[in-house]
Amino acid sequence: ATTTALLEVEDLSASYGPVRALDGVTLRADTGRITAVLGANGAGKTTLLRTISGLVRPTGGRVRLDGEDITKARVESMVAKGMSHVPEGRGVIAELTVDENLRVGSLFRGKVGKEEFDRVYDLFPRIAERRDNHAHTLSGGERQMLVIGRALLARPRVLLLDEPSLGLAPKIVAQIFGLLRQLVDSEGLSVLLVEQNARSALSVADIGVVLNLGRVVVTDDARTLMADEQLRHAYLGF
Ligand code: ATP
């Protein structure tokens, strides 16, 4: 089957002063696919997501969303264009309830109807159960579900996820990745998943992109990468 490249990154470079964090990265994220971006600490994964979503200005290259050049688009306009970015760190407001966190999040996401909130609660029953609890009482896994749910409120076509597994128990990681898989399969969402936990990411992803020192080392089917022992040892840490 042919797939549609929803997000196209072409020869993208970015620097922090003298540090070249991204060096000519080319990749695509297709509709109905989970594309995992893997690599060690400092490989440039977070910078890649920040550059795609407009938080970091590239020094070269291009980003296209559905054919439209969004390289210079403002970060505030990305949600309206159909892209949601969930940064590392699970930013929730501890003193507000789960429901209030979703509502505050929705303020930045244009018009969000009741059915969008219901949909998020349907997707994450655990979050629905806890909707009136303060966010500081949530476990790490519940917080991750809450920030993903918040990102889904605007019905993005592309979801950028930075290290959602960080600090979570393997069982919870499997649960969250399973939910992502369902979402991608049922709604044709495109997920660009940045992970240091390469084993878990490859087990849920369709495609893997391995970064090292800001460059793409290899792009291939997740299954093929999983089977490549040499590559796993050299770049993926398992
Ligand atoms: P991690 O998983 O630790 O976030 P990463 O693969 O996401 O790693 P980046 O955070 O994108 O990697 O970092 C890529 C390179 O850019 C590294 O050499 C890092 O030290 C450098 N870097 C990242 N952020 C900054 C910054 N704000 N200022 C200066 N250098 C930075």
Q: Is 3 in the pocket of ligand 1 (CB under 6 A)?
A: no
Residue pLDDT, tens place only, 21-41: 999 999 999 999 999 999 999
What pLDDT digit, counting tens, does each position of 222-237 carry? 999 999 999 999 999 9
Counting ligand 1 atoms within 8 A of each CB, the residue from 16, 162, 192 with the most, and so the one to mutate, is 16
Q: Which of 15, 19, 50, 53 to mutate to test the pocket of ligand 1 (most atoms within 8 A of CB)?
A: 19
1: pLDDT strictly greater than 70: no
In which element (H, E) is residue 196 found?
none
Compute the distance between CA of residue 93 and CA of residue 150 in angstroms, rounded to an integer: 12
Atom 25 in ligand 1: residue holding the nearest Cα: 16
| Residue 157: predicted pLDDT | 94
The yes-or-no verdict on residue 2 having pLDDT over 60 is no
Sign, CA torsion 205/208/212/215: negative
Closest CA to 119 of 151, 159, 79: 151
- Residue range 169-198, pLDDT digits in tens: 999 999 999 999 999 999 989 999 999 999
Reading the block at residue 70, the tokens are 């969004």
Name every residue whose Cβ is closer than 8 Å to that of residue 138 and which is 6 or more positions away in sequence.
92, 98, 130, 146
As a whole number, the mean pLDDT across the chain is 93
Q: What is the pLDDT of residues 56-87, one digit of tens each?
A: 999 999 999 999 999 999 988 898 899 999 99
Q: Could you give the ipTM of this predicted complex? A: 0.95
Which residue's CA is the nearest one to ligand 1's atom 20?
42
Amino acid 3: pLDDT: 63
State the CB neighbour count (10 A cutoff) for residue 118. Answer: 11
Q: What is the mean pLDDT of residues 86-96?
A: 87
C-alpha 55/C-alpha 109 separation (Å) is: 17
Percent of the chain topping pLDDT 90: 84
Ligand 1 atom 29, closest CA:
16
For a mutational test of ligand 1's pocket, the pick from 15, 20, 45, 216, i.e. the residue with the most ligand atoms closer than 8 A to its C-beta, is 45
- Between residues 159 and 113, which one has the greater pLDDT? 159
Residues 96, 174 contacting (CB under 8 angstroms) = no
Our answer on whether the CB atom of 18 is closer than 6 Å to any ligand 1 atom is no
> Do residues 164 and 204 lie in contact, with contact meaning Cβ atoms separated by under 8 Å?
no
Res 55 pLDDT > 80: yes
Sequential DSSP letters for 129-181: HTTTSBGGGS-HHHHHHHHHHHHHTT--SEEEEE-TTTT--HHHHHHHHHHHH
CA distance 65 to 39: 24
pLDDT of residue 111: 74
